[in-house]
Structure 1
Amino acid sequence: MKSEPPKDRAAAVAAVKAAGRANSDATVMFHAAIAGRLGLNATDTKALSILDREGPLTAGELSRRTGLTAASVTTLIDRLERKRLARRVEDPADRRRVRVAADPAGLAQVMPHFADFEAGLDALLGQFKIADMEVIVRFLSETNVLLEAQRLRLTDGTRTRMKPRGKRKA
């Protein structure tokens, strides 16, 4: 559903924020649906995405990138290995250290779930000029920096748990 273009800066800022929230919600739900199809959880698929984009990481590096505890990352890696989506590999610089890599054959099983979205995204981006896409890339990149800073602020660089709430009175 398209809305009227904003008439002033405050309205434009509010419209961008609202669209960003809606995009975030849709993205999370889309990835949760894919994770469900794969028998994983959304965090597993995002960790797999990080491994695919950044290459092999140590468990500690993956812990820092995801905010998961070391124990949670170990369990996550085990799940990805069982599904043949990732594998532990020897670190070429230090044979005593192990890295986790996305498995290309496993990724080939995941990618068809994104095919329709990718085709739609390509069609959508075809409507934009290169200069427009450069603005979009800048906005998304800077938003990612803000999000990562806030994740680190909220977790103090580590995974934190919410405090349990007291029992409700009937």
Structure 2
Amino acid sequence: MRPDSEEDRSLGTLMSLATALRVQAARTVLFQAAVAQSIGLNATDFNCLSLLDLEGPMTPGRLAERAGLSRGGAITTVVDRLQKAGFVRRRPDAGDRRRVIVETVPEAFAERVDTAFADFRAALGKLLSELTTEQRELLLDVTNRSNEIFHTETVRLQSRT
């Protein structure tokens, strides 16, 4: 019996990493759904709220595009529910008064969403504090680059439909 070669160990590590990333993606989706439910939203509404928080105010059409929803009825219903729940507001577009801009209500977001994430952030902060600066920089680089891959692949898959 020969000992594992470096190539075998490397392939095994890559396969384990691919599996771990799939598990992380699935658990992220489930966690986001649990957070959404805890603040009285469904997963789609929470996803749209998160996009507005991360990317800033935008038109409903742009929000629909970013969330992979149809323009018109679907996004209008989402924005209506978010507005009724106090998470967003509509305002006229200063550049084109015929258009509306949807933006988060920062106080509602901080009070309800940030509170729902508090324990998660504390646990993640503890985990990251155990890493060296170099490990955190590598993790940040890999995360940013994988986010770009996710975005590129999402756009590619959405363009097929």
- Shorter-chain TM range is 0.7 to 0.9
Out of 111, 115, 118, the residue aligned to residue 115 of structure 1 is 118
- Please list, as runs of the form range in 1=range in 2, the aligned pairs for 1:13-162 lying within 5 A after superposition: 13-70=14-71, 71-107=73-109, 108-156=111-159, 160=161
- Deviation (angstroms), 1:90: 2.2
- Deviation (angstroms), 1:67: 0.9
Deviations 1:60-117 (A, max 9, x none): 1111211111121111111100100111122233333211101112202221110000
- Scaled by the length of structure 1, what TM-score is found? 0.83
Separation in 1, partners of 2:69, 2:52: 15
- Deviation (angstroms), 1:146: 1.4
Separation in 2, partners of 1:81, 1:94: 21
Q: How many equivalent residue pairs?
A: 153
Separation in 2, partners of 1:149, 1:110: 27
Per residue, is there more helix in 1 or in 2?
Answer: 2
Separation in 2, partners of 1:81, 1:75: 10
- Scaled by the length of structure 2, what TM-score is found? 0.87
Separation in 1, partners of 2:74, 2:143: 28
Separation in 1, partners of 2:80, 2:154: 25
Uncovered stretches (5+) of structure 1, i.e. residues with no partner: 1-5, 161-170
Uncovered stretches (5+) of structure 2, i.e. residues with no partner: 1-6
- Deviation (angstroms), 1:153: 1.9
- Deviation (angstroms), 1:128: 1.0
Question: What SS class does the counterpart of residue 117 from structure 2 fall into?
Answer: helix
Amino acid in the other structure paired with 2:127? L
